[in-house]
Amino acid sequence: MSSRSPSGTPDLANLARGVRAGERSVIARAITLIESRRADHQKAARRLVQELLPDSGKAVRVGITGAPGVGKSTTIDALGTFLTGEGHKVAVLAVDPSSARSGGSILADKTRMARLGSDPNAFVRPSPSSGTLGGVAAKTRESMLICEAAGYDVVLVETVGTGQSETIVADMTDFFLVLMLPGAGDELQGLKKGVIEIADMIAINKADGDNLKRAKAAAAEYRAALHILTPRSPSWSPPVVTYSALSGNGIAALWSSVLDHRERMTAAGELAGRRREQQVKWMWAMLEDRMFARLKSDPALKAKLPRIEAAVAQGRMTPAVAVDEIATALGV
């Protein structure tokens, strides 16, 4: 079934029907439409997401972060395979600010998720390869809704960057999982306060073989560090667990903590509140992306920008005055 009309524009009725039916090729086309920079595609994507909105929102949304080498892809592969074995349908999305800068992609992640990549009950999708970080995040949110409308009841959102991307992923998910490594010298050296403050759980990977003792020691240090921080929610104290993505030990317990958190947050009414906040932050992220796109595409402004940038660089104009001039040109 074609998802394009005779005129070449996306056939939104067929796209929506195919997504609801869980057709993987149609889901992929719908997300490609969302990621497109073409104005007509963006308009069509907004209509498609609005159409599918009532069918979304039922999945467990889990954000996953960790330093390079911590084993994020292996963890997602192990966790996702465990979940599909339990009868779940799992979608994996990613937020990658580095791809927004370089135009690269994280397609290699699919090769590192060998089992999940070939699992008929899983869908693995790299992040958009261009645009601002806010734009990438907005498109990831829309892709998440597409996957939920397609029947995926668990969505894993991976951040492969650092800093702002971690906060953005925490803001679009229900549960934020921070992965750590054992035996890396000072266990608290890589403990970024800002990230830990938004963590719903810390999980120490590679807790196997000779690493097991070091993993347990690291977990004890992280637990002590968490005691001095204010929890993200009054209904939940972030646990610190150990597991092995390689052997699968601890994966079931890790998921059990996610479900325990969901149950407590739902009972306290905090899950619904967090979802409402996510919707508002999504709106602002999309507005920021739209304004930035206009900034780069407006012909009159594009002609002025080199002069303004040169004046700022040479110290002839302050950044504040430059912003005023740009805002005036935009009618803001």
More confident residue, 25 or 211: 25
The model's pLDDT over 311-320, given as tens digits with 9 standing for 90+, comes to 999 999 999 9
> What are the residue boundaries of the structural domains of the chain, listed by start?
1-55, 56-268, 283-330
Phi, psi (rounded to 5 degrees) for 230: -80, 125
DSSP 8-state code for residue 237: P
Sort residue 240 into left (φ over 0), alpha (ψ -120 to 50) or beta: beta
The model's pLDDT over 92-121, given as tens digits with 9 standing for 90+, comes to 998 765 544 444 444 445 556 889 989 999
CATH assignment, 1-55: 1.20.5.170
Q: Please state, in angstroms and rounded to a whole number, the distance separating the CA atoms of residues 65 and 198.
A: 11
Q: Which amino acid is at 207?
A: A
CATH architecture for residues 56-268:
3-Layer(aba) Sandwich (3.40)
| pTM as predicted | 0.85
Q: Please state, in angstroms and rounded to a whole number, the distance separating the CA atoms of residues 132 and 100.
A: 6
Choose the weakest-confidence range: 67-76, 180-189, 213-222, 230-239: 180-189
Distances (CA, A) of 221 to 144, 190, 215, 227, 273: 35, 12, 10, 10, 32
Q: Please state, in angstroms and rounded to a whole number, the distance separating the CA atoms of residues 55 and 16.
A: 10
